[in-house]
Amino acid sequence: MRLVVLGGTRFVGRAICNAAQRRGYDVVVFNRGRSGPPPSGALAVRGDRTMVSDLRDLAKLIDERGGADLIVDPACYAPSHALMSARILKDVAPEYAVVSTVTAHSQWPEQPVESGSPIYETGITDGPSEDASLYGRLKAGVERAVETIYGEINTLVVRPGIVLGPHEDLGRLPDYLRRAARGDGFVVGGEPQTWFQYVDVRDLAEFVLTCAETGRPGRYDVVTQPGEYTWGDFAQAVSEVAGGSPVFVPDDRLLAADVEPWRGLPLWVPESPQTAGLWAVDGKASYDYGFTARPLTETVADTWAWLQKEGPDWRPTARVAVHGIDAEVEQELLRQAQAL
């Protein structure tokens, strides 16, 4: 297959390119060259997806190479940008794959959702925003923008939950691993029996390509099944590879210490009626069409191995908010836990 990836040098895009090359695909990556080197073996084309002239040059190149089978758009969160790329590239590639997010569902996280649940009614001409709270809404607009041009029958939409694995650039799992590696306790929020869901970036990449190979467009929420793992499982997997002992701190004590949910302590959100569906995304549709998930322990171990290889200078990318609890706050919470 002939694949064109818009981006292709960061977390999800990198994984898709690597998986495609293992399958023997012809891979073209189109980006500005600012987020790292292109994957080895891929044809790198420099350009800005927000520029009509650059997209037209890309379309011309693809046409000269005999066309492409699939456009993969792993990171776009501006509906207007997706609309433009879909319009310009439609004549040189018959199918378009969007990597969206489960947060595109308008009922999430208040209610459990599945692939057919409603998404936000975001306009297809909306532009980008620096407001992180709009991410899911904008991704919903990206889905609609591409489907407007390609039609549902030629559009693949995959909506991952929390994406973890080697090369994660948000600092979530790496934060837990690095805190655990100190050798003493590390804080985990809430209760160990609370459900936990995620998708390994490599399994996500393989599913995108499997759908492309088998001609299965559609909308798929891609995540481990509800109840398959708990936060206790996650914490134990981190402890086994990096050391340290997980210390679960109740929601009320974390809030009293002014720990910011989700970012201040990565992925932790206090339990409430407003978050009843947070870890209850039903990914059955993706499993029915070939998605397979490696064990959580493998994801954590491989991420730890990668992080050690990267060395102590690794940091999350500058364009995203750094995730992680303040060291002094964590030590005080650990002292409080020991005193109980």
Structure tokens at 140: 């919903």
Q: Say whether pLDDT at 33 is over 90.
A: no
Model confidence band, residue 37 (pLDDT cutoffs 50, 70, 90): confident
What integer pLDDT is reported at residue 287 of this predicted model? 97
Q: What is the pLDDT of residues 207-264, one digit of tens each?
A: 999 999 998 899 999 999 999 999 999 999 999 999 999 999 999 999 999 999 999 9
User: What are the structural domain ranges in the chain?
Assistant: 2-164+198-222, 173-196+227-274+296-333
Question: Do 186 and 176 meet the contact criterion of CB atoms below 8 Å apart?
Answer: yes
CATH of 2-164+198-222, one of 3.40.50.300, 3.40.630.30, 3.40.50.720, 3.60.20.30: 3.40.50.720
Model confidence band, residue 169 (pLDDT cutoffs 50, 70, 90): confident
Q: Say whether pLDDT at 319 is over 60.
A: no
DSSP β-ladder status, 261-262 and 265-266: parallel
Give CA–CA dist 79/4, Å, rounded: 19
Mean pLDDT of the chain: 95
Give CA–CA dist 264/334, Å, rounded: 16
Measured CA distances, 48 to 55, 56, 64, 84, 85 (Å): 7, 11, 20, 12, 11
Quick one: average pLDDT of 5-15? 95
User: What is the pTM assigned to this prediction?
Assistant: 0.96
Give the number of other Cβ atoms within 10 Å of residue 245's Cβ: 13
Q: Say whether pLDDT at 318 is over 70.
A: no
pLDDT > 90 in the chain, percent: 88
Quick one: average pLDDT of 158-162? 99
Q: How many CA atoms lie within 13 A of 139 on its CB side?
A: 25
Of residues 4 and 39, more confidence is placed in 4
Q: Residue with structure tokens 């891929």? A: 42
Radius of gyration of the chain (CA): 20
Give the DSSP letter string of 248-285: EE-HHHHHHTTPPEETTEET-----GGGTTTT-EE-HH
Quick one: average pLDDT of 275-287? 97
Return the DSSP state at 229: E
Quick one: average pLDDT of 295-303? 99
Q: Say whether pLDDT at 312 is over 60.
A: no
Q: Write the single-letter amino acid at 250.
A: P
What integer pLDDT is reported at residue 339 of this predicted model? 87
Q: What is the pLDDT of residues 60-83, one digit of tens each?
A: 999 999 999 999 999 999 999 999
Structure tokens at 320: 């995203």
Question: Do 118 and 61 meet the contact criterion of CB atoms below 8 Å apart?
Answer: no
Question: Do 222 and 199 meet the contact criterion of CB atoms below 8 Å apart?
Answer: yes
Q: Say whether pLDDT at 323 is over 80.
A: no
Model confidence band, residue 316 (pLDDT cutoffs 50, 70, 90): low
